[in-house]
A and B are shown apart, each in its own frame.
Chain A
Amino acid sequence: MRMLPLGAADRAAMLATIGAQAIDDLFVDVPAEAVLHGPIPGLPLHASERAVERHMAALSAQNLTAEQAPFFCGAGAYRHHIPASVDHLIQRGEFLTAYTPYQPEIAQGTLQVLFEFQTQVARLFGCDVANASLYDGSTACWEAIAMATRVTRRNRAVLSGGLHPHYAETAATMARFAGDDLCMLPTRAEADSDDAAVIAAIDGQTAAVVVQYPDVMGRIPDLAAIAAAAHAQGALLIAVVTEPVALGLIESPGALGADVVVGEGQALGVGLQFGGPYLGLFACSEKFLRQMPGRLCGETVDADGKRGFVLTLSTREQHIRREKATSNICTNSGLCALAFSIHLSLLGGSGLERMASISHSRAVATARALGAVAGVSVINHTWFNEFALRLPRPAADVVEALAARGILGGVPLSRLCPDRADLADVLLIAATECTDMHDIAALAAALGEVLA
């Protein structure tokens, strides 16, 4: 078997060194009734590289990809062009096959990348500090709520109806077991975000206010107004960014008063990947440093006085604090953080602005074209690269009909809110710099046919 270097002679010699007669002697502690005397029946045996590749390629071929189809899906996962050098660099074995940098003397590559990543995220979000990443945007959102409850010693959080429903469900699941009280505002298909409802829900027991920016329908809440209302009650504002490219054009949440900014980094460097692995971003004010979840990389010096980097402030973490830790998280999303950081290094501030500007322009063109289809209206007052349409028919049926025509025509809001019949006619449409005018024309024409 090609992955296993030991041969029969090696195994025999090693057993002799150990003083065992047979490999079974090494498993003597397994209860007799649980011992299997051969490969588990009914499962295939080992296969050649070519056979495995063919099997997987056949499964891959059954999917309609963003490369094949005019593509308009968003709702928390965005298709942007990833420069070829990103994937090349993350596949270097020294990055790909290293582990958490427990031995900093031989992990300066990973550690310097994490330090640069933390700096990039902090600047992008307009915050003092950032961590070395979390699993994804939805879990980062919950970790921010949990941190806010520790910081404020309150246990109530107000969640905007514009928060991605999967994020809200994740938070509700965690809150159920943590004993926290969530005030979850309903998703509303209106032209503007629910800022007034959010502000009205904040009270003196509120630890955190959670607002997505832009929100799940692409609307752009007035974070400064919500921050002022939250701070007046002693609550923290947590801003959630699921499309970080937007910050190439609109203001960073930290600059608008958000105390914690979390997000999904997938849009830069990571790719769609059917939903994971993605990249949780977490940034906040420096005063919460010792309450932050997840790994942190810090600068220091070595015994010769040379600059170097280490994992730091680990007294917050589970391997030291055990049941009193700030989080149970052990790993971060290292390789995705690397991909994000490389992509952002290639873009720079000017490239990010350009990418954002083109994405926005394509979304504007898409909205114009689709808004002209009979029976279709654009719900949003404004948007970055994603907006909501109201259709004359259930959006899920329309999306299926578009897929049958080879077009991936957005995400029906009912996919995220299956229990809300009143939202069945809402379709979320996203565009990026990858969307071209032919794609837009194809979607507009197909939508017209499907609705005719």
Chain B
Amino acid sequence: MNDINTAGWRPSLGTIDGAALPDTVTGNRALDLQEPLLFEIGHADRSGVDFDDVEPDVLPTLPRRAARVDLPGLSEPECVRHYTRLSRQNYAIDLGLFPLGSCTMKHNPRLNEKVARMPGFAAVHPLQPQSSVRGALTVIAELADWLVRLTGMAAVAMSPKAGAHGELCGLMAIHAALDARGEGDTRRVILVPESAHGTNPATAAFAGFAVAGIPAGPDGRIDLAALLARLGSDVAGVMITNPNTCGLFERDIKTIADAVHAAGGYVYCDGANFNAIVGRVRPGDLGIDAMHINLHKTFSTPHGGGGPGSGPVVLSAALADYAPRPHVVGDETGVRLVEAAADLPQAFGRMCAFHGQMGMFTRALAYILTHGADGLRQVSDDAVLNANYVLASLRDVLDAPFAGSGPCMHEALFSDHGFAEGFSTLDLAKGLIDEGFHPMTVYFPLVVHGAMLIEPTETESRAALDQFLGAMRSLAVRARAGDPALRAAPRHAPRRRLDETLAARKPRLVWRG
């Protein structure tokens, strides 16, 4: 029996030793709210949408379906709660640092959201008469002009819908140019460095090429001698990522481009890492023939949980005429959309329906106008500065395989070398989750064992970086010492480690009750 409690403590709750939290009736814990599936809470005859009172007038010739589509409905309050609760189980840039290497997770300005929703952009149809959408076409033309000037290229194809779609566009332009030269059947090989994003070889294959790998040298850059030795009359071109996936600038890029051109090939650059050099270096000055620009990376259009992206492709004079339909053309008579094949005889075809990711164009243009030429240069300065600060601050506790060869660009690469037996990059990454951060890109690029690729972006303040670095140093020490608790991480996330093997072995992709 307890004495009278004068301190305000309630002995009826039992002792609080911190070891285990009591279960709750609901499974929820205060603001940590579990949410069932839509199919477990919705009803077939419930709806959160009211319609005008219209008497249906159905054509007798219309073939009617046998039964209503089996889809649960929610009232509006149920719907808002369902998705609001789900949203709280996501990490996001709005919550904190998101250092996913090669993904450029920077702040998404809310002005861009407001602009994209202006009715003249959001509520216009892609096939309205051109006279009724002059402003929308001007947005595309203005953005196209910025992209051409920022890259020092001759033209830009605006319609590709994401980075990988842009890669496809660039390689098809190269293929079309080779066809026009009568070498489409003989130049069938695209050279791709081992460190490339997986999209590069996949794209080359879909564009009708064979892929040959180029090894990386010991400094994390392309092995120049190996590349030069492979050039020949069967090579259509190279696909290079610059800055590359090790976060390094390819110093020999100009030499490579000149040699590839001399050998009759073209140079495709994966522009995923453009944030490192925007406003500071123009790819056109490096001899690039085609490069996609991920508007959702460099120009801040929101990643949205995995898209939509947008991947305009800038093209050199040698490839400009092969750009796919449609083209947005601006001249003294105004801006217009050229869609007909007869008006663009050399265009290699069409990448998709309509004219591209307009909703991303408005956001990217607002971002570019916000920053201007000076602000964009400061973006790459700060992005590169932040990455080098991370590299310099962690080198004594984490293996940085290429740090000896000079500064990195916008991302810093580390390996799992030196971790205790049985401890992996995955353990450190999951430990970061418990510290309140999204992990970095892990196990990519493939050329480094247990790779950890950290891209802080210019969005982070020094204080935010210092907090992250404190967590990283602690985790690195624990991984090297072999702290067993690290292998149980995460413990504080909405879920602990998930069984991915089970998901793949017995795929359950839809709810069946």
Do A318 and B62 have beta carbons less than 8 Å apart?
no
Q: A323-B202, A351-B48 are in contact. Are A43 and B149 (CB under 8 A)?
A: yes
Most chain B CB inside 10 Å of its own CB: which residue of A31, A35, A174: A31
- Residues of chain A within 8 A of B389, CB atoms compared: 14, 17-18
Bound-state Cα–Cα, A42 to B493, Å? 49
- Residues of chain B within 8 A of A132, CB atoms compared: 306
Do A324 and B205 have beta carbons less than 8 Å apart?
yes
- Residues of chain A within 8 A of B393, CB atoms compared: 17
- Residues of chain A within 8 A of B46, CB atoms compared: 348, 350
Give the segment of A69-77, A150-158, A202-210, A369-377 that binds chain B. A69-77
Bound-state Cα–Cα, A404 to B132, Å? 9
How far does the Cβ of B117 sit from chain A's closest Cβ, in whole Å?
8
- Residues of chain B within 8 A of A450, CB atoms compared: none
Do A166 and B353 have beta carbons less than 8 Å apart?
yes
Do A357 and B69 have beta carbons less than 8 Å apart?
no
- Residues of chain B within 8 A of A93, CB atoms compared: 92-95
How far does the Cβ of A203 sit from chain B's closest Cβ, in whole Å?
24
Do B373 and A40 have beta carbons less than 8 Å apart?
yes
Residue in B208, B286, B499 whose beta carbon sits within 8 Å of that of A179 in the complex? B208
Residue in A178, A273, A349, A354 whose beta carbon sits within 8 Å of that of B70 in the complex? A349
Q: A135-B308, A346-B76 are in contact. Are A328 and B58 (CB under 8 A)?
A: no
Bound-state Cα–Cα, A14 to B51, Å? 59
Interface status of A186 (Cβ within 8 A of chain B): no
Interface status of B217 (Cβ within 8 A of chain A): no
**Number of A interface residues, CB 8 Å?**
209
How far does the Cβ of B387 sit from chain A's closest Cβ, in whole Å?
9
Do B74 and A99 have beta carbons less than 8 Å apart?
no
Smallest CB gap from B283: residue in A = A34
Do A45 and B375 have beta carbons less than 8 Å apart?
yes
Most chain B CB inside 10 Å of its own CB: which residue of A28, A274, A346: A274
Residue in A43, A128, A272, A383 whose beta carbon sits within 8 Å of that of B146 in the complex? A43
Do A323 and B201 have beta carbons less than 8 Å apart?
yes
Interface status of B478 (Cβ within 8 A of chain A): no
Bound-state Cα–Cα, A61 to B100, Å? 38
Do A138 and B86 have beta carbons less than 8 Å apart?
no
Smallest CB gap from A31: residue in B = B254
Bound-state Cα–Cα, A55 to B251, Å? 40
Do B161 and A277 have beta carbons less than 8 Å apart?
yes
Do A322 and B73 have beta carbons less than 8 Å apart?
no
Most chain A CB inside 10 Å of its own CB: which residue of B113, B211, B279, B385: B385
CB contacts under 8 Å to B, within A342-363, are 342, 344-355, 357-358, 360-362
How far does the Cβ of A388 sit from chain B's closest Cβ, in whole Å?
14
CB contacts under 8 Å to A, within B458-498, are 458-462, 464, 488, 490, 493-498
Do A61 and B460 have beta carbons less than 8 Å apart?
no
How far does the Cβ of B320 sit from chain A's closest Cβ, in whole Å?
18
Do B510 and A122 have beta carbons less than 8 Å apart?
yes
Do A39 and B199 have beta carbons less than 8 Å apart?
no
Interface string of A56-87 (1 = CB under 8 A from B): 11111111111110010101110100010101
- Residues of chain B within 8 A of A364, CB atoms compared: 57-59
Bound-state Cα–Cα, A430 to B124, Å? 15
Interface status of A233 (Cβ within 8 A of chain B): no
Residue in A47, A97, A272 whose beta carbon sits within 8 Å of that of B94 in the complex? A97
Do B138 and A62 have beta carbons less than 8 Å apart?
yes
Most chain B CB inside 10 Å of its own CB: which residue of A52, A130, A344: A52
16 additional contacts (CB under 8 A) given A166-B354, A345-B73: A11-B382, A17-B393, A18-B392, A19-B392, A63-B136, A94-B87, A97-B93, A100-B307, A113-B83, A113-B86, A136-B353, A331-B306, A344-B71, A351-B48, A361-B58, A404-B131
Can you list 23 A-B pairs, Cβ within 8 angstroms, ordered by A?
A3-B459, A14-B386, A29-B249, A39-B279, A39-B374, A43-B373, A56-B139, A65-B119, A73-B127, A97-B92, A98-B303, A99-B103, A105-B494, A106-B433, A106-B438, A120-B71, A123-B71, A136-B161, A166-B350, A173-B324, A300-B499, A329-B162, A360-B56
